[in-house]
Amino acid sequence: NEWTTPGRKEIKHASVNQRQVIVALTGGDLLYFELEDGGQLEEVERKDLQQDIASLHIPPRSPKAAAARRSWPSAASTTPCE
Protein backbone atom coordinates (compact mmCIF):
# COMPACT_ATOMS: atom_id res chain seq x y z
CA ASN A 1 0.00 0.00 0.00
CA GLU A 2 1.09 3.54 -0.68
CA TRP A 3 0.34 6.44 1.65
CA THR A 4 0.10 10.00 0.43
CA THR A 5 -0.15 13.19 2.43
CA PRO A 6 -3.61 14.68 2.78
CA GLY A 7 -4.40 17.64 0.54
CA ARG A 8 -1.40 19.80 -0.25
CA LYS A 9 0.39 19.08 3.02
CA GLU A 10 4.10 18.23 3.01
CA ILE A 11 6.07 16.01 5.37
CA LYS A 12 8.28 18.27 7.48
CA HIS A 13 9.66 15.76 10.02
CA ALA A 14 9.32 12.10 10.95
CA SER A 15 10.50 9.87 13.77
CA VAL A 16 10.36 6.07 14.07
CA ASN A 17 11.11 3.26 16.46
CA GLN A 18 10.64 -0.51 16.14
CA ARG A 19 6.86 -0.38 15.62
CA GLN A 20 5.76 3.27 15.61
CA VAL A 21 5.99 6.22 13.22
CA ILE A 22 5.12 9.86 13.88
CA VAL A 23 4.94 12.26 10.96
CA ALA A 24 4.71 16.06 11.23
CA LEU A 25 3.06 17.80 8.29
CA THR A 26 2.97 21.46 7.34
CA GLY A 27 0.46 23.37 9.42
CA GLY A 28 1.02 21.35 12.58
CA ASP A 29 -0.71 18.07 11.76
CA LEU A 30 0.79 15.06 13.54
CA LEU A 31 0.03 11.56 12.33
CA TYR A 32 0.70 8.44 14.37
CA PHE A 33 1.14 5.02 12.74
CA GLU A 34 1.79 1.56 14.17
CA LEU A 35 3.34 -1.42 12.41
CA GLU A 36 0.87 -4.29 12.51
CA ASP A 37 1.93 -7.90 13.00
CA GLY A 38 1.40 -8.53 9.27
CA GLY A 39 3.94 -5.80 8.39
CA GLN A 40 1.48 -3.09 7.31
CA LEU A 41 1.56 0.43 8.73
CA GLU A 42 -1.82 1.54 10.04
CA GLU A 43 -2.74 5.12 10.85
CA VAL A 44 -3.93 5.13 14.45
CA GLU A 45 -4.42 8.78 15.33
CA ARG A 46 -4.11 12.38 14.11
CA LYS A 47 -3.61 15.56 16.07
CA ASP A 48 -3.72 19.14 14.87
CA LEU A 49 -1.38 21.35 16.88
CA GLN A 50 -2.30 24.35 14.70
CA GLN A 51 1.31 25.44 14.27
CA ASP A 52 4.30 24.08 12.38
CA ILE A 53 6.52 21.62 14.24
CA ALA A 54 10.26 22.32 14.36
CA SER A 55 11.27 18.83 15.54
CA LEU A 56 9.89 15.63 16.96
CA HIS A 57 11.17 12.44 18.56
CA ILE A 58 9.73 9.07 19.47
CA PRO A 59 11.91 6.96 21.79
CA PRO A 60 12.38 3.18 21.56
CA ARG A 61 9.33 1.26 22.72
CA SER A 62 9.48 -0.33 26.15
CA PRO A 63 8.08 -3.86 26.64
CA LYS A 64 5.35 -2.37 28.87
CA ALA A 65 4.33 0.10 26.17
CA ALA A 66 4.30 -2.66 23.56
CA ALA A 67 1.59 -4.44 25.54
CA ALA A 68 -0.59 -1.30 25.63
CA ARG A 69 -1.12 -0.76 21.91
CA ARG A 70 -3.35 1.72 20.16
CA SER A 71 -2.53 4.82 22.10
CA TRP A 72 -0.63 7.99 21.29
CA PRO A 73 2.94 7.42 22.53
CA SER A 74 3.15 9.43 25.75
CA ALA A 75 6.94 9.74 25.59
CA ALA A 76 6.90 11.29 22.11
CA SER A 77 8.00 14.91 22.10
CA THR A 78 7.48 17.78 19.69
CA THR A 79 8.92 21.26 19.45
CA PRO A 80 6.72 23.96 17.90
CA CYS A 81 8.20 26.57 15.58
CA GLU A 82 8.56 29.96 17.22
pTM of the model: 0.77
Q: At residue 63, what are phi and psi to the nearest 5 degrees? A: -60, -35
Q: Are 43 and 23 in contact (CB under 8 A)?
A: no
Query: Over the stretch 9-67, which tens digit does the pLDDT of each residue have?
Result: 999 999 999 889 999 999 999 999 999 889 899 999 999 988 888 888 888 876 665 55
Per this entry, what is the length of the chain?
82
